[in-house]
Structure 1
Amino acid sequence: MSKLLKSMALVAVMSMSALTAQAQDGPLKIGYVNSERVLREANLAKAAQLKLETEFGKRDKDLKDLEAKLRTAADKLEKDAPTLAEAEKSRRQRDLVEQDRDLQRKRREFQEDLNQRKQEELSGVVERANKVIKQIFDNEKYDLILQDAIHFSARVDITKKVIDALNAQK
């Protein structure tokens, strides 16, 4: 069994024994939060997405324009190839390969920059969401709040409550 599975099994056993002990004091209060839904629906997350689109929109458009220009040049070369001298045809092919390589490099850099910024923006949203979840946990006296469970009942889903609390913050 892998270390991760052993760790998960140990945590599950410890959690169950703690919950069993707690159950003797009264009914358990358990909540579930769908993190993906919070990151998709909370106003803070939507604002972060809009900020990223604004920040990276021009670069994305420039890359698409460059790609269209390269495609047009490749089509033109294919059309003109039968009438071109072999040296000219080779020169144009080398130019296209070099331009394509440059485009791929720019696309990779763009994706890396976008991913880094997305992580930065989302980490702020996650941090605030976790604070809201902790407040709900404390204020409403939950025994356990889970994030991203495989199966859950709608009766324990507090995702909407978390989203509403995040949206209420300024």
Structure 2
Amino acid sequence: MNNFLRRCCTGLAFAGLLISAQAQALHLGFIKTDRIFKEANSAKIAQTKLQQEFSKREKEIAAQDALLKSAANKFEVEAPTLSEAQRVSRQKQLADQDRELQRKRRGFEEDLTARKNDELQQLLADANKVVKQVAEAEKYDLVLQDAVYVSPKHDITDKVLKIMNAQSGK
């Protein structure tokens, strides 16, 4: 319901802007945030930083996964020759190792997702500052982010990327 009210208010505000546009020309701009997240130098730097930060843990989890699979395969081969107590003990041991591996994998994914979100929020904040600079410098009345369709003449993503990349090069 809250989302519906927000959309209605946004629609009414936009309709009001369009009505006022009849009296004067409305200078609109549009930004594609997905391009910012992919093409900005700071986005590429953040991606590299995340890969460096998490690659060691990822390799450790992959190695543990390989060891567990190897142990499970060995158990399947040896199971017919083991006593009932040994078989139960090994099954419990493999189950415990699997639970531990799943716990580590979930923790890794949660940490990675949280860090990605932090980096994306910072990138979006930086992009918004640049969008505001462009909007003020070029006297835009309204700048939108992510729409279903926008005429290319209103797309200012390239301008924003150029400024962001120049700033990250300093």
Q: SS at the partner of 2:139? A: coil
* AA at the equivalent of 2:87: K
Deviations 1:46-73 (A, max 9, x none): 1001000000000001001100110110
Q: Tell me whether 1:94 sits opposite 2:96 in the alignment.
A: no
1:74-96, CA deviations, whole angstroms, 9 ceiling, x for partnerless residues? 01101111111111111111000
Write out the 4+ residue segments of structure 1 that deviate beyond 3 Å after TM superposition: none
Aligned residue-pair number: 168
Q: CA RMSD in A?
A: 1.2
Consecutive unaligned residues of structure 1, counting only runs of 5 or more, are none
User: What is the correspondence of 1:30-69 to structure 2 with a 5 Å cutoff?
Assistant: 30-69=28-67
Is 1:3 aligned with 2:25? no
SS in 2 for 1:146: strand
Match of 1:136 in 2: 134
1:28 aligns with 2:52: no
1:90-110 deviation per Cα after TM superposition (whole angstroms, max 9, x unaligned): 111100000000001111111
Q: Deviations over 1:20-57 (max 9, x none)?
A: 214412x2221111111101110001100100000000
Tell me what 1:105 maps to: 103
**1:143 aligned partner, one-letter code:** D
**TM-score, normalized by length of structure 2?**
0.94
Task: Classify the secondary structure of the residue corresponding to 1:44.
Answer: helix
SS of the residue 1:142 aligns to: coil
